[in-house]
Amino acid sequence: MRNLFLLFILVILCSCSLQKSNQQVLLKEDFSNLDTNKIWLLKSHTFTNNLAVFNPDNIQNKNLLALKLNQTDSSKTSSKSFEGAEIRTRRKYKYGNFKVLLKAPKGSGIVSGFFLYFPHSSKFKEIDFEFLGKDTCKVYLNHWTNKQDNGKAVDIPFAFQNEFHEYHLEWRKKSIVWYMDGKELYRTQNFIPKRSMHLVFNIWISKHESWVGNLDESALPAFFQIKQVEISK
């Protein structure tokens, strides 16, 4: 009986090892060098609900990707009073595991995002991890289909601004699962996006104070830090 039990355990371990080895790694990034020609695209735009404009100069890379949010320098001619940052992959991905080691900042009014995004407005798709600086012991999990919000707020057992943690999106044909440090936070089988999407990171200020809180300008400059990215299928 004992031998049968040991054989069962061995089969399970071998199965898990084989499954892991069969995963195809599509991108593994430690930001020792930021390749903006083939892998990453730095964005310079804004949108209606954003009180900041994205500035490529606010993206810093020294073995760590840091997206900066600050007040716009008074010497600049700008349409907005604040500057944030956004970076996305040049390539689009369809299904897979998206694991990121990151640390988001504290500060009311500040939004930091790690998400998958299909950019065409008429067929808008998105799968999100969002970090609101007003409440650093909570993460917002969301997926959008045809501009329909399917969001959920989840409490976490730490303040996300203090340490790096792994956040993981598992996007399959019939499900989406959100993980943190290997622990499942939430899953859904409804309204699953079917189109290939970019991986995006950004930091900005929302004009919707009922959602993000009143802006605490004393928290600026704020930095959204990403240490590692792995995409596999």
- Which amino acids are annotated catalytic? 126, 130
**CA 10/CA 4 separation, integer angstroms:** 10
**CA 26/CA 44 separation, integer angstroms:** 26
Q: What is the 3-state secondary structure (H, E, C) of the chain?
A: CHHHHHHHHHHHHHHHHHHHHCCCEEEEECCCCCCCCCCEEECCCCCCCECEEECHHHEEECCCEEEEEEECCCCCCCCCCEEEEEEEECCCECCEEEEEEEECCCCCCEEEEEEEEECCHHHCEEEEEEEECCCCCEEEEEEEECCEECCEEEECCCCCCCCCEEEEEEECCCCEEEEECCEEEEEECCCCCCCCEEEEEEEEEECCHHHHCCCCHHHCCEEEEEEEEEEEC
Cβ atoms 73, 82 nearer than 8 A = no
Question: How many other C-beta atoms are found inside a 10 Å radius of the C-beta of residue 125?
Answer: 21
